Protein backbone atom coordinates (compact mmCIF):
# COMPACT_ATOMS: atom_id res chain seq x y z
CA UNK A 1 0.00 0.00 0.00
CA UNK A 2 1.31 3.42 -0.90
CA UNK A 3 -0.31 5.43 1.86
CA UNK A 4 -0.63 4.97 5.58
CA UNK A 5 -0.55 8.53 6.91
CA UNK A 6 -3.51 10.89 7.00
CA UNK A 7 -1.22 13.79 6.07
CA UNK A 8 -0.41 12.08 2.79
CA UNK A 9 -4.08 11.94 1.83
CA UNK A 10 -4.57 15.62 2.62
CA UNK A 11 -1.51 16.52 0.55
CA UNK A 12 -2.88 14.41 -2.33
CA UNK A 13 -6.16 16.28 -2.06
CA UNK A 14 -4.43 19.63 -2.41
CA UNK A 15 -2.48 18.40 -5.44
CA UNK A 16 -5.63 17.03 -7.07
CA UNK A 17 -7.49 20.31 -6.55
CA UNK A 18 -4.59 22.19 -8.14
CA UNK A 19 -4.65 19.85 -11.14
CA UNK A 20 -8.39 20.29 -11.62
CA UNK A 21 -8.18 24.07 -11.39
CA UNK A 22 -5.31 24.16 -13.86
CA UNK A 23 -7.52 22.37 -16.37
CA UNK A 24 -10.72 24.26 -15.56
CA UNK A 25 -10.70 27.26 -13.17
CA UNK A 26 -14.50 26.90 -12.78
CA UNK A 27 -14.43 23.17 -12.02
CA UNK A 28 -15.47 23.47 -8.36
CA UNK A 29 -17.92 26.28 -9.02
CA UNK A 30 -19.66 23.99 -11.48
CA UNK A 31 -19.42 21.00 -9.11
CA UNK A 32 -20.94 22.93 -6.23
CA UNK A 33 -23.93 24.09 -8.28
CA UNK A 34 -25.74 20.77 -7.65
CA UNK A 35 -25.86 17.15 -8.72
CA UNK A 36 -27.79 15.38 -11.45
CA UNK A 37 -26.14 11.95 -11.70
CA UNK A 38 -27.55 9.61 -14.36
CA UNK A 39 -26.52 6.51 -12.41
CA UNK A 40 -27.13 4.96 -9.01
CA UNK A 41 -24.38 2.50 -8.20
CA UNK A 42 -25.09 -0.19 -5.60
CA UNK A 43 -21.83 -1.98 -4.90
CA UNK A 44 -19.68 -3.79 -2.39
CA UNK A 45 -17.72 -1.87 0.25
CA UNK A 46 -14.53 -3.64 -0.83
CA UNK A 47 -11.75 -1.05 -1.04
CA UNK A 48 -10.77 -2.27 -4.50
CA UNK A 49 -14.08 -1.24 -6.03
CA UNK A 50 -14.37 2.50 -6.55
CA UNK A 51 -16.51 2.28 -9.70
CA UNK A 52 -15.51 5.81 -10.66
CA UNK A 53 -12.00 4.54 -11.41
CA UNK A 54 -13.18 1.49 -13.35
CA UNK A 55 -15.60 3.53 -15.48
CA UNK A 56 -13.63 6.80 -15.78
CA UNK A 57 -16.54 8.73 -14.30
CA UNK A 58 -16.15 12.09 -12.59
CA UNK A 59 -17.59 13.50 -9.37
CA UNK A 60 -21.28 14.14 -9.94
CA UNK A 61 -21.86 11.22 -12.29
CA UNK A 62 -22.45 8.30 -9.88
CA UNK A 63 -24.78 8.36 -6.87
CA UNK A 64 -23.46 5.63 -4.61
CA UNK A 65 -24.60 3.12 -2.02
CA UNK A 66 -22.14 0.48 -0.89
CA UNK A 67 -22.28 -2.26 1.71
CA UNK A 68 -20.69 -5.65 2.27
CA UNK A 69 -21.54 -7.94 -0.68
CA UNK A 70 -23.76 -5.32 -2.41
CA UNK A 71 -26.96 -6.29 -0.66
CA UNK A 72 -30.36 -4.81 -1.54
CA UNK A 73 -32.07 -5.16 1.80
CA UNK A 74 -35.74 -4.27 2.11
CA UNK A 75 -35.21 -3.51 5.80
CA UNK A 76 -32.11 -1.32 5.43
CA UNK A 77 -33.36 2.23 6.01
CA UNK A 78 -30.04 3.62 4.81
CA UNK A 79 -30.34 1.86 1.46
CA UNK A 80 -34.04 2.66 1.08
CA UNK A 81 -33.38 6.36 1.70
CA UNK A 82 -30.66 6.33 -0.96
CA UNK A 83 -32.94 4.55 -3.42
CA UNK A 84 -35.85 6.89 -2.82
CA UNK A 85 -33.67 9.96 -3.19
CA UNK A 86 -32.05 8.60 -6.34
CA UNK A 87 -35.37 7.84 -8.04
CA UNK A 88 -37.69 10.54 -6.71
CA UNK A 89 -35.34 13.52 -6.47
CA UNK A 90 -32.31 12.86 -8.65
CA UNK A 91 -34.35 10.94 -11.23
CA UNK A 92 -31.47 8.65 -12.14
CA UNK A 93 -31.85 6.90 -15.48
CA UNK A 94 -29.96 3.72 -14.57
CA UNK A 95 -29.40 1.64 -11.45
CA UNK A 96 -26.32 -0.57 -11.44
CA UNK A 97 -26.11 -3.45 -8.99
CA UNK A 98 -22.47 -4.45 -9.14
CA UNK A 99 -20.95 -7.44 -7.38
CA UNK A 100 -17.45 -8.73 -7.83
CA UNK A 101 -15.44 -11.90 -7.96
CA UNK A 102 -13.22 -12.73 -5.00
CA UNK A 103 -15.76 -11.08 -2.68
CA UNK A 104 -15.03 -11.43 1.03
CA UNK A 105 -18.74 -11.17 1.83
CA UNK A 106 -19.49 -14.17 -0.39
CA UNK A 107 -16.67 -16.12 1.26
CA UNK A 108 -17.95 -15.20 4.71
CA UNK A 109 -21.37 -16.55 3.77
CA UNK A 110 -20.03 -19.87 2.53
CA UNK A 111 -17.23 -20.60 4.92
CA UNK A 112 -17.94 -21.51 8.47
CA UNK A 113 -15.75 -18.83 9.99
CA UNK A 114 -17.45 -16.69 12.60
CA UNK A 115 -16.82 -13.05 11.97
CA UNK A 116 -19.45 -11.45 14.21
CA UNK A 117 -22.13 -9.12 12.89
CA UNK A 118 -21.09 -9.85 9.30
CA UNK A 119 -22.51 -13.36 9.78
CA UNK A 120 -25.95 -11.82 10.21
CA UNK A 121 -25.52 -9.46 7.28
CA UNK A 122 -24.47 -12.14 4.80
CA UNK A 123 -26.98 -14.75 5.96
CA UNK A 124 -29.25 -14.05 2.93
CA UNK A 125 -26.31 -15.07 0.72
CA UNK A 126 -26.00 -18.31 2.69
CA UNK A 127 -29.67 -18.89 1.91
CA UNK A 128 -29.00 -18.19 -1.76
CA UNK A 129 -26.28 -20.82 -1.73
CA UNK A 130 -28.64 -23.39 -0.23
CA UNK A 131 -31.26 -22.57 -2.88
CA UNK A 132 -28.70 -23.02 -5.69
CA UNK A 133 -26.43 -25.59 -4.07
CA UNK A 134 -26.64 -28.15 -6.87
CA UNK A 135 -25.64 -25.66 -9.57
CA UNK A 136 -22.78 -24.30 -7.47
CA UNK A 137 -21.38 -27.53 -6.02
CA UNK A 138 -20.82 -29.16 -9.41
CA UNK A 139 -18.30 -26.47 -10.38
CA UNK A 140 -14.76 -27.89 -10.18
CA UNK A 141 -12.90 -25.27 -8.15
CA UNK A 142 -13.56 -23.27 -5.02
CA UNK A 143 -12.94 -20.05 -6.93
CA UNK A 144 -15.54 -20.91 -9.57
CA UNK A 145 -18.07 -21.80 -6.90
CA UNK A 146 -17.53 -18.52 -5.08
CA UNK A 147 -17.68 -16.52 -8.30
CA UNK A 148 -20.89 -18.20 -9.45
CA UNK A 149 -22.46 -17.39 -6.11
CA UNK A 150 -21.33 -13.77 -6.58
CA UNK A 151 -23.24 -13.72 -9.89
CA UNK A 152 -26.31 -15.36 -8.37
CA UNK A 153 -26.15 -12.81 -5.58
CA UNK A 154 -26.31 -9.95 -8.10
CA UNK A 155 -29.36 -11.53 -9.77
CA UNK A 156 -31.04 -11.86 -6.37
CA UNK A 157 -30.30 -8.25 -5.44
CA UNK A 158 -31.73 -6.99 -8.75
CA UNK A 159 -34.84 -9.00 -7.99
CA UNK A 160 -34.95 -7.53 -4.47
CA UNK A 161 -34.73 -4.07 -5.97
CA UNK A 162 -37.98 -4.71 -7.81
CA UNK A 163 -39.63 -5.77 -4.56
CA UNK A 164 -39.09 -2.37 -2.91
CA UNK A 165 -42.12 -0.14 -2.62
CA UNK A 166 -40.02 2.64 -4.15
CA UNK A 167 -39.37 0.74 -7.39
CA UNK A 168 -42.93 -0.54 -7.53
CA UNK A 169 -44.20 3.01 -7.25
CA UNK A 170 -41.73 4.14 -9.92
CA UNK A 171 -43.02 1.38 -12.23
CA UNK A 172 -46.54 2.53 -11.53
CA UNK A 173 -45.53 6.11 -12.38
CA UNK A 174 -43.72 4.87 -15.50
CA UNK A 175 -40.50 6.55 -14.44
CA UNK A 176 -38.53 3.53 -13.23
CA UNK A 177 -34.83 3.58 -14.10
CA UNK A 178 -33.30 0.79 -16.15
CA UNK A 179 -31.62 -1.77 -13.88
CA UNK A 180 -28.35 -3.51 -14.70
CA UNK A 181 -26.61 -6.41 -12.98
CA UNK A 182 -22.83 -6.37 -13.24
CA UNK A 183 -19.94 -8.34 -11.85
CA UNK A 184 -16.48 -6.85 -11.74
CA UNK A 185 -13.62 -9.25 -12.24
CA UNK A 186 -10.88 -8.13 -9.87
CA UNK A 187 -8.33 -10.24 -11.75
CA UNK A 188 -8.82 -8.43 -15.07
CA UNK A 189 -10.44 -5.15 -14.07
CA UNK A 190 -13.20 -5.82 -16.57
CA UNK A 191 -16.92 -5.50 -15.92
CA UNK A 192 -19.18 -8.37 -16.95
CA UNK A 193 -22.77 -7.39 -17.76
CA UNK A 194 -25.01 -10.25 -16.64
CA UNK A 195 -27.77 -8.94 -18.94
CA UNK A 196 -30.36 -9.56 -16.26
CA UNK A 197 -33.85 -9.90 -17.74
CA UNK A 198 -36.01 -7.78 -15.46
CA UNK A 199 -39.37 -7.84 -17.26
CA UNK A 200 -40.66 -10.67 -15.09
CA UNK A 201 -40.07 -8.60 -11.97
CA UNK A 202 -41.43 -5.44 -13.56
CA UNK A 203 -44.69 -7.32 -14.08
CA UNK A 204 -44.82 -8.37 -10.46
CA UNK A 205 -46.46 -5.20 -9.07
CA UNK A 206 -49.75 -7.00 -9.64
CA UNK A 207 -52.61 -4.62 -9.03
CA UNK A 208 -50.61 -1.73 -10.49
CA UNK A 209 -50.42 -3.54 -13.82
CA UNK A 210 -53.49 -2.03 -15.33
CA UNK A 211 -51.68 1.29 -15.48
CA UNK A 212 -48.46 -0.13 -16.92
CA UNK A 213 -47.53 -0.18 -20.62
CA UNK A 214 -45.98 -3.58 -19.92
CA UNK A 215 -49.47 -4.87 -19.45
CA UNK A 216 -50.16 -4.45 -23.15
CA UNK A 217 -46.69 -5.73 -24.05
CA UNK A 218 -47.67 -9.01 -22.42
CA UNK A 219 -50.60 -9.23 -24.86
CA UNK A 220 -53.08 -9.84 -22.11
CA UNK A 221 -56.51 -8.51 -22.94
CA UNK A 222 -58.87 -8.40 -19.98
CA UNK A 223 -62.39 -9.39 -20.92
CA UNK A 224 -65.76 -9.26 -19.27
CA UNK A 225 -65.36 -12.93 -18.48
CA UNK A 226 -62.42 -12.22 -16.20
CA UNK A 227 -63.88 -11.62 -12.81
CA UNK A 228 -60.85 -12.14 -10.56
CA UNK A 229 -58.58 -9.50 -9.07
CA UNK A 230 -55.98 -8.06 -11.41
CA UNK A 231 -53.31 -9.76 -9.26
CA UNK A 232 -54.63 -13.05 -10.57
CA UNK A 233 -54.50 -11.63 -14.09
CA UNK A 234 -50.85 -10.71 -13.54
CA UNK A 235 -50.07 -14.28 -12.56
CA UNK A 236 -51.85 -15.41 -15.72
CA UNK A 237 -49.63 -13.11 -17.80
CA UNK A 238 -46.44 -14.30 -16.15
CA UNK A 239 -47.34 -17.97 -16.46
CA UNK A 240 -48.22 -17.59 -20.13
CA UNK A 241 -45.50 -15.21 -21.29
ZN1 LIG B 1 -17.15 -7.76 -1.86
- As a whole number of angstroms, the distance between CA 113 and CA 100 comes to 21
Supply the pLDDT for residue 234.
36
Q: Is residue 5 part of a domain?
A: no
191 and 122 share one domain: yes
145 and 213 share one domain: no
Supply the pLDDT for residue 115.
74
Distance 160 CA to ligand 1 centre (A): 18
193 and 212 share one domain: no
Distance 184 CA to ligand 1 centre (A): 10
119 and 217 share one domain: no
96 and 166 share one domain: yes
Q: Is residue 40 part of a domain?
A: yes
Cα four-point dihedral sign 123, 154, 87, 20: positive
- pLDDT-derived band at 199 (thresholds 50, 70, 90) equals confident
Query: pLDDT, tens digit, for every residue of 108-161?
Result: 888 867 778 988 999 999 999 999 999 999 999 999 999 999 999 999 999 999
219 and 185 share one domain: no
What pTM was estimated for this model as a whole? 0.83
Supply the pLDDT for residue 201.
79
105 and 213 share one domain: no
Q: Is residue 226 part of a domain?
A: yes
158 and 216 share one domain: no
Distance 21 CA to ligand 1 centre (A): 34
Mean pLDDT score, 214-233: 39
- pLDDT-derived band at 202 (thresholds 50, 70, 90) equals confident
- Give the chain's domain count: 2
Query: DSSP string covering 66-111, please?
Result: EETT----TT-HHHHHHHHIIIIIS--SEEEEEEESS-HHHHHHHS
CA distances from 59 to 20, 52, 56, 132, 155 (A): 12, 8, 10, 38, 28
237 and 147 share one domain: no
Query: pLDDT, tens digit, for every residue of 74-115?
Result: 999 999 999 999 999 999 999 999 999 999 999 988 886 777
With beta carbons less than 8 A apart as the criterion, state whether 171 and 212 touch. Answer: yes
Distance 98 CA to ligand 1 centre (A): 10
Active site members: 44, 46, 48, 100, 103
Q: Is residue 13 part of a domain?
A: no
110 and 176 share one domain: yes
Q: Is residue 160 part of a domain?
A: yes
With beta carbons less than 8 A apart as the criterion, state whether 102 and 146 touch. Answer: yes
CB atoms within 10 A of CB 80: 17
42 and 55 share one domain: yes
What is the pLDDT of the chain when averaged over all its residues? 86
Per-position b or e across 162-187, b if 16+ CB within 10 A of its CB: bebebbbbbbbeeebbebbbbbbeee
Query: pLDDT, tens digit, for every residue of 33-80?
Result: 999 999 999 999 999 999 999 999 999 999 999 999 999 999 999 999
Give the domain range for residue 79. 35-202
Amino acid sequence: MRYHKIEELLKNNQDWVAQKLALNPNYFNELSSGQKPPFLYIGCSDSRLPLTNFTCTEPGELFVHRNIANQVSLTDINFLAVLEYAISHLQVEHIIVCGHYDCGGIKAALESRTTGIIDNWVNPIRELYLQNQYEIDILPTRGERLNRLAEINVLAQVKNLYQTSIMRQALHNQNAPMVHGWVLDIHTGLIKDLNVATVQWQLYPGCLLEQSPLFSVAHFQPTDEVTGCCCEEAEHVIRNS
